[in-house]
A and B are shown apart, each in its own frame.
Chain A
Amino acid sequence: MKKLTTTALGTAIALAASVSAAQADKLTLYCSAQEDWCQLMARSFEDATGIDVNMTRKSSGETFAQIRAEASNPKGDVWWGGTGDPHLQAAEEGLTMEYVSPMRDQLHDWAISQAESAGNRTIGIYSGALGYGYNTDLLAANNLPEPSCWKDLLKPEYKGHVQMANPNSSGTAYTTLASMVQIFGEDEGFEFMKGLHSNINQYTKSGSAPIKAAGRGENTIGIVFMHDAVAQAVSGFPVKVVAPCEGTGYEIGSMSIIDGARNEDEAKKFYDWALSAEAQNLALQVNAFQVPSNKGAQTSDSAPDMSTIKLINYDFKKYGSSDERKRLLQKWDEDVSTLPQ
């Protein structure tokens, strides 16, 4: 302890010179989107307002757990990004604060309905539809037909060519499971998952890994959010994106202000700024092809066109609740994952 302290002190004195004495407004941002997007948002907000941003990036599950742990002594101010379910759960538990932003009239309806379903404690900032992508070279090399529907993936010729994430470890894969249950009904939905199971070559841990493997040519078809597939295609990999014909589920990336935030005014400033078209346009710089919630924000030409995708009426309230989640995952664990492939 003594050694540690003295060294820490020594280093501290050396570093003290570089610490500026000026006091600025500050904001603690919990960010659950991809790292470079988080960095860009934080830096751009600093440039736009002069408020110092202290950003921590963690997955939405981790951030949720952290906010819950800090409930009596919140350290974070704003939680930006990440799939909507944990934001809704946080709203349900009263961990986040009600706020009606003056920017609302610029937003798409789905973003506002997300807010209304949570008593204005959260709001949609982007959305992304589920789908799949395939490696065109590998598909051709194996003489496989081009799939266009969910049910196409059950065909025996795709055996060993399909990859998806494990719903236990990935929110993307859970959205897939919940979407299938909503599209086909629970019984048929699980029959679909069983059929899919025999064609799956690997359940990855992370949600976007299947399409990345497909990009590199290590896998043929990956079930992912379509914007992730687009990102691979844009980086130069031979990937084609499919919006399945039966319709598909989607996620709404959300933002919430933490209840009892120490810097509430700055948090509201960030909130309003993050809903502006200008802030949402930043996504394009980091190859994030989600659909922005501001109607005036630009969408990339390569991004999936939401108007042509058949979206189901995804019940976020029901399938985002932890009881339903647990039940579906357990059923998947017992009925699907144990089957021989």
Chain B
Amino acid sequence: MRNATADKTTHPILIFWIVAGWVGYCLLPWYMVEGGLWSFEWLVDGYPFDEDYAPAAFLIGQGEKLWLAPLLIPLALPLLVLRRSKSDPLYAQILILSGTLGFGWLIAQGFSIGIRGFNYDWLSSLFGDIRLRQFGMGYGAMICASAFLFLLTQGIAARGAINGDVFVVSAIGGVITIVTAFVFFPIAKMLFAAFVTEDGAYSMSVFFAKFFDDRLWGLGCLWGARCGAAWNSLFLAIMVGFITTALGLAFALVVTRSGFRYKRALRALTVLPIITPPFVIGLALILLFGLSGTVTQFFAELFGLQPTRWLYGLPGVLIAQTLAFTPIAFLVLIGVVEGVSPSMEEAAQTLRANRWQTFKTVSLPLMRPGLANAFLLGFIESMADFGNPLVLGGNFDVLSTEIFFAIVGAQYDQGRAAVLAIVLLFFTLSAFYAQRVWLGKKSYTTVTGKGDSGVHPLMPNGLAIPVMIVALGWALFTAAVYAMIIYGSVVELWGVNNSLTFKHYVTAFSLRFEEEGIRWTGAAWDSFWTTITIAAIAAPLTAAVGLVTAYLLTRQSFAGKNAFEFGTMLSFAIPGTVIGVSYILAFNVPPIEITGTGVILVISFIFRNMPVGVRAGIASMSQLDRSLDESSLTLGANSWQTFRRIILPLLRPAILAALVYSFVRAMTAISAVIFLVSAEYDMATSYIIGRVENNDYGLAIAYSTTLIFVMLAAVGLLQLLVGQVQIGRRMSQSQTTSQKEST
């Protein structure tokens, strides 16, 4: 069947991209239009002759930006092959030539000619210092670039790569290009920034001076002064990793292996970290345990003690992060603890091991991957955490806040921020590596296709009692903190005037009904709608990129697949602060100049949250048997049709999960966002930070509480929708039991 289509001489996809290339070159404004992508002022303001809005063809016609002229050659080349068949070797060669030339020239000119003329000295010495300059790429340049890219992939496909499958080759090319542009390029740019001196030259000594700074690696805390931020971060992250893993394990054991009655309430804890905006935990802790906190005052009066500022510094950050990240460890471990096959444990007991021995020698070792994962997540989350150290850090400097203040403070030192970010990235990547090594190549598989109808043994008593006490105590503490958050949003001025009021909600979310419609008069509406819009745009894109990547990873094999997988998962190990810094360094200048726009926020969310979409997609796609694809292909569908008609519908739960997760994460993200917001595109979290800095705790907490409920609604909606997606099949033993549990 496929041979028949290959012999046709009309190529609709090819024609589409050729036309797109010409439209981008001749009709659309080549450069970024002032006012952003979504502004259409240019249509009425001097287009197509105004230099700011002109398409490339008009610019050249007026004798401007002549370096864009060579692009006409690769644009014209593919016209030659329109009448040729795909099997003609010339077809592939010309397309590859045109794509490579066009894309390569676009990139080369974009990087060599910037706002201030040539970006590299050797270019100016070669061509002289003429006043050339250009701004960031706009619609025209972007569409042209896409056209060249997909001409290239069509050429590669025509040469026979991946069975000549245009869709798969284009998808691979597309994903590689965007991951390169929005993950690797900014990171590389940041690495370079660490070596730049004040006057713009490159120098190793600058890097070393900043790297071996005492504020980074000092060990003063051993003799009463202060330690460097790197040690602080490392120490804190290790502590948080251990404590959250231990607490998470305690919760998981209580839920799966004890007679505790209110397991469902405990399970609800797992939702908390996903829907909690940053800061609120820190703020609630200050209101409870700060110098003038409720609890502090109560005990000070009770025992006649002098209240202290013990909360500010390591203790406060540690408590806040443990509160915030324990549920994540719980979420990871609950699956693992449930997954340990009961038959193994039963076998141990049959061999006369007592419950304690069984737990120690069988159950616990089998949980190793889960423990390692939980630790890793706690470690990375703590390293990347920005909100809690900001409000509770005191003199305890950590890398994430130091990076922030290197960029926004009076020092304004991008090089220092880059060096700090490199240290942070080094720590998280090392943790990833260490986890791999620790787990080794042993097999931890206990769930097999065979039926396994055993029941998990209860914990030994010596373990059960302390575990129950710890888990329940922590659960109560968490509940108290969250109750405080809600209470804090309805008091006038905490600590000074404790009368109840809805004033903060009114300030934030008031609206007036007028003749022209609703007037959103509340102070928070602007950032609220921006957040919802950006999150709503980012979520489907995240899911799409994630699922296409997952499809390529599970269903296709191609050279360099491992590197491809590493690249797509890399952004998961990169803390948000690092992403933020690298994005402003990379996208502040042409060719991609998008700082201060909404686009940069959307893009940062896509690549921050994409790994989750990939993982969710891989997990569900591995459950779909390949025979489904094969029968579809055998029946004559191409791979795009197979993907759309067969795989996508079966992936609905994964799609929904990726959608809601990325939507909610986009609403609570702060670490990357704080660098990327602008007056026009302010996000909820950065608005809240502003309120916190202004001492306006009431408004900050009221806004956060509102966000919590909005996100709860989103998560609830997801549960409702996913619950209805049922794939018709017999229920296995384990599904029946879990169904019972959840009803």
Contacts and interface: CB of A to CB of B under 8 A. Distances in A.
A259 to B, nearest CB: 15
A24 to B, nearest CB: 10
A175 B702 CA distance: 35
Contacts of A62: 407-408, 412
Contact of A218 (B174, B290, B411): B290
A73 B133 contact: yes
Contacts of B495: 216-217
A337 B690 CA distance: 28
A70 B725 CA distance: 54
B39 interface: yes
A64 to B, nearest CB: 8
Interface in B363-413: 394-395, 401, 405, 407-412
A203 B395 contact: yes
Interface in A290-321: none
B424 interface: no
How big is the B interface, by class? 35 or more
A133 interface: no
Contact of A8 (B37, B497, B596): B37
Nearest to A72: B116
A28 B136 CA distance: 19
B88 interface: no
Given A35-B690, A203-B395, A212-B695, A218 B599 contact: no
A2 B144 CA distance: 10
Given A19-B39, A202-B394, A340 B224 contact: yes
A237 B496 CA distance: 7
A209 B395 CA distance: 13
A4 B178 CA distance: 10
B545 interface: yes
A333 B384 CA distance: 27
How big is the A interface, by class? 35 or more
Contacts of B215: 333
A15 interface: yes
Given A73-B133, A219-B291, A11 B312 contact: no
Contact of B40 (A8, A19, A333): A19
A111 B495 CA distance: 41
A205 interface: yes
A235 B412 contact: no
B539 to A, nearest CB: 12
Nearest to A21: B44
Contacts of B312: 201-202, 218
Given A59-B410, A73-B116, A215 B44 contact: no
Given A168-B409, A169-B411, A232-B695, A2 B45 contact: no
A34 B694 CA distance: 9
B223 interface: yes
B254 interface: no
Interface in B140-190: 142-143, 145-146, 149-150, 174, 177-178, 181
B220 interface: yes
A205 B405 contact: yes
A247 interface: no
A291 to B, nearest CB: 21
A340 B679 contact: no
Interface in A60-91: 60-62, 64-65, 69-70, 72-73
Contacts of B544: 3
B225 interface: yes
A23 interface: yes
Nearest to B407: A62
A56 interface: yes
B409 A170 contact: yes
Nearest to B40: A16
Interface in A131-165: 138, 142, 160
Contact of B599 (A8, A35, A57): A8
A102 interface: no
B291 A217 contact: yes
B582 to A, nearest CB: 17
B607 to A, nearest CB: 11
B679 A55 contact: yes
Interface in B120-150: 133, 135, 139, 142-143, 145-146, 149-150
Given A15-B38, A216-B695, A3 B545 contact: yes
Interface in A22-75: 23, 34-35, 38-39, 55-57, 59-62, 64-65, 69-70, 72-73
A174 B410 contact: yes
B493 A2 contact: no
Report which residue of A19, A23, A174 has the largest number of chain B beta carbons within 10 angstroms of its beta carbon. A19
17 contacts: A1-B181, A2-B146, A3-B174, A5-B143, A5-B146, A7-B541, A9-B139, A55-B679, A168-B409, A168-B410, A202-B395, A203-B395, A217-B292, A218-B291, A218-B292, A219-B291, A236-B497
Given A5-B139, A69-B588, A73-B115, 20 more contacts: A1-B181, A2-B146, A2-B174, A5-B142, A7-B541, A8-B37, A59-B412, A62-B412, A73-B133, A168-B409, A169-B405, A169-B410, A202-B395, A205-B405, A206-B693, A216-B290, A216-B495, A238-B496, A338-B225, A341-B225
Interface of A: 1-5, 7-9, 11-12, 15-16, 19, 21, 23, 34-35, 38-39, 55-57, 59-62, 64-65, 69-70, 72-73, 138, 142, 160, 168-171, 174, 201-203, 205-206, 209, 212, 215-219, 232, 235-238, 333, 337-341
Closest 8 CB pairs of A and B: A217-B292, A169-B409, A340-B224, A61-B412, A212-B695, A16-B40, A72-B116, A169-B405
